[in-house]
Structure 1
């Protein structure tokens, strides 16, 4: 199986995702890169500058191509590695379809009335990826599925807080309406990028909620499976640091974008990898 294209796509992303998986065995690394490439292509369809109807059609075609590849096989340089990885690691195709459902939600007017609705979106947009990765990493305890689900929610909530500005510029508001009302923040204030003390308190509330899900993930991290999940732990550490940067900026996300340079990410990766290799079950 040729993983050249999916590897190129992952490397070109220059994201923390790539640095988190450098230390994986080659077979698992290839599978992760295949998953990432699938996500990247899906995301690019949604974020394209084309009209909404065209993007919906392209996403529908991508879904149909995926299902056809699963059923009949394919030589496509992205879908072939994806199908190979699904079969090799017994990954549920439902995770991929749920992910595409989450992507489609981004093409509608993004508004959520409650956190329950936002959670469903976070699950589809991020927890699904975590659950795919969990099958690739391998686990003995079923609690690791909850770890993957909660970590996905924590990462997505962090993304939502970080990306309030670019999302608002696309007329997307992911923060639940019930939370906006609780803090007296209007949709117009967000869409017009107004920094107010109420807005910062709203984001602080969401930041604390993200922290809760980082903690929930940790509580479901089984020590005997920690070694296999070192890449996920690297992602957790990187994103938690980004969240702390946002917190330390007093949630000034309209003027500040948190980031970690490559050297810092590599240092985190090595530190977490070493820690996971020497974690022992009690």
Structure 2
């Protein structure tokens, strides 16, 4: 799935890697239980649960979190784990009615958390950080709503429709992250939202083939029509010059969003927002790797190695350069 919090890579040696036939599709039959259990009796501490969730995901976000203070790292790790939990409902539960019930449970759990009654270990880990970082309920509910769209929608008519989806599953995620990272200037919100959209667009381009196996196409219908690419060609993973031209157009849009985000970041917040800039560096490097591969994403997954991602994160932290 292309959502921003589902970006786990499964790399092999080398800078950019390719995974044929998407061997690591969602596991499990997703039929056990209609709602997540509160986990009140789990022996693991909430903070350990979310840390394990973040590390096990293999996400690029992990590298950006490494350089945060312990308090901020704990907060963003808990928030990231929440995003992963609701994201996994869509990708790992095969029955739409069961998935919808689980997402409804999460909606109630988020509401109860902001009322001071968290039960799931993820929300118990996040709860202590709500007041210190001024977190509100609406963005978390928006993330759930974005995931809910994936239960009923497999196509997007135009740029506006795709932007709405990206707003829910990525833009608001960026806004919450910016607050946790230490936002001081209100203008940073626009930067964070635009950056989230850029990261999401990169995810979408990387996962076109993998999403096609699930019957989903996130590239807007009017964009496909513009380049004379049929949906069936993507679903059957048929690469063509027309598809490459479409992808080049989409990549240029993603690059423009990165440039726009960087221009929106106030100088006063640049230091605090380094984790987001690390993500921009890692994801833009991934976008360039996709371009170098000629946009052959229909039958392989292009990824950066952990070493490459760590290097890019360190370079931003130490040198302030992408």
Task: With the length of structure 1 as denominator, give the TM-score of the two structures.
Answer: 0.95
1:22 aligns with 2:66: yes
Deviations 1:82-135 (A, max 9, x none): 222222211121111111111001111321111011001111111111111111
When structure 1 is superposed on structure 2, of 256-265 and 216-225 the one drifting more is 256-265
Q: Specify the alignment match of 2:89 in structure 1.
A: 45
Taking the aligned partners of 1:86 and 1:169, their CA distance within structure 2 comes to 38
Q: Specify the alignment match of 1:197 in structure 2.
A: 241
**Map 1:113-132 → 2, pairs under 5 A:** 113-132=157-176
> 1:75, CA displacement in angstroms?
4.5
1:252 aligns with 2:291: no
Q: Alignment RMSD, CA only?
A: 1.4
Q: Specify the alignment match of 1:146 in structure 2.
A: 190
1:168 aligns with 2:221: no
Taking the aligned partners of 1:41 and 1:241, their CA distance within structure 2 comes to 27
**Map 1:1-282 → 2, pairs under 5 A:** 2-276=46-320
> 1:157, CA displacement in angstroms?
0.5
Taking the aligned partners of 1:102 and 1:2, their CA distance within structure 2 comes to 25
> 1:2, CA displacement in angstroms?
4.7
Gaps of 5+ in 1: none
Taking the aligned partners of 1:7 and 1:49, their CA distance within structure 2 comes to 23
Is the 2:237–2:299 contact (alpha carbons within 8 Å) kept by the matching residues of 1?
no
Deviations 1:239-267 (A, max 9, x none): 00000001111111123422221221111
Is the 1:109–1:171 contact (alpha carbons within 8 Å) kept by the matching residues of 2?
no
Taking the aligned partners of 1:177 and 1:154, their CA distance within structure 2 comes to 19
Which structure would you say has the larger RCO, counting Cα contacts within 8 Å and 6 or more residues apart? 2
Task: With the length of structure 2 as denominator, give the TM-score of the two structures.
Answer: 0.83
Gaps of 5+ in 2: 1-44
Higher helix share: 1
